[in-house]
Structure 1
Amino acid sequence: MVAIGGCKKGKAGGAAGFGGGAPMGMPVEVAVARVDTVRDEIAATGQIEAVQAIDLRPEVDGRIVEIPVREGQEVDQGTPLFKVDDAQLKAQVAQLEAQRDLAQQALARAKELVQQNASSAADLEKAEAEARGAQAQYDLQRIRLDRTTVRAPFAGAVGQRYVSLGDYVTNTTKL
Structure 2
Amino acid sequence: MNKNIKKTLIAITVLVVIAIAFLPKILSSTESGAIMPIGRPDMVVPVKAHIVSLETLGNSVYTTGTILANEEVELRSEISGKIIKILFKEGSYVNKGDLLIKINDADLQAQLRRAESKVKLSKEKESRQKQLRDGNLISQEEYDNTLGELHVNEADYDLIKAQIDKTEIRAPFSGIVGLRSVSEGSYVTTNTVMARLQNFNSIKVDFSIPERYSASVKAGDELEFKISGSSNIFKAKVYAIEPKI
TM over 0.5: yes
Give SS of 1:165's match. Answer: coil
Is residue 83 of structure 1 aligned with residue 80 of structure 2? no
1:78 & 1:115 partners in 2: Cα distance?
48
- Using structure 2 for the length normalisation, give the TM-score: 0.51
The match for 1:65 among 84, 88, 105 is: 84
1:170 & 1:85 partners in 2: Cα distance?
13
AA aligned opposite 1:155: S
Is residue 103 of structure 1 aligned with residue 149 of structure 2? no
How far the C-alpha of 1:48 sits from its partner, in A, is 5.6
Give SS of 1:157's match. Answer: strand
Matches within 5 A, 1:38-57: 49-57=68-76
AA aligned opposite 2:152: G
Give per-residue Cα distances to partners, 1:100-136, cap 9 Å, x unaligned.
Answer: 1111111111111112222111111101111111111
Match of 1:116 in 2: 135
Match of 2:184 in 1: 165
How far the C-alpha of 1:96 sits from its partner, in A, is 0.2
1:48 & 1:67 partners in 2: Cα distance?
30
Bigger Rg over Cα? 2
Give per-residue Cα distances to partners, 1:126-165, cap 9 Å, x unaligned.
Answer: 0111111111111111121122110001101011212111
2:102 & 2:67 partners in 1: Cα distance?
30
2:141 & 2:177 partners in 1: Cα distance?
56
1:141 & 1:172 partners in 2: Cα distance?
22
1:123 & 1:168 partners in 2: Cα distance?
47
* Greater strand proportion: 2
AA aligned opposite 1:107: E
Is residue 153 of structure 1 aligned with residue 153 of structure 2? no
What is the number of residues matched between the two proteins?
130
Give SS of 1:51's match. Answer: strand
AA aligned opposite 1:82: I
Q: Which runs of 5+ in 2 are unaligned?
A: 1-65, 195-245
1:50 & 1:72 partners in 2: Cα distance?
15
Q: Percent identity?
A: 37
AA aligned opposite 1:137: D
AA aligned opposite 1:141: I
- Using structure 1 for the length normalisation, give the TM-score: 0.70
Give SS of 2:179's match. Answer: coil
More relative contact order, 1 or 2 (CA 8 Å, 6+ apart): 1
1:52 & 1:117 partners in 2: Cα distance?
62
2:70 & 2:89 partners in 1: Cα distance?
20
Matches within 5 A, 1:7-22: none
Runs of at least 4 residues of structure 1 off by over 6 A? none
2:173 & 2:93 partners in 1: Cα distance?
11
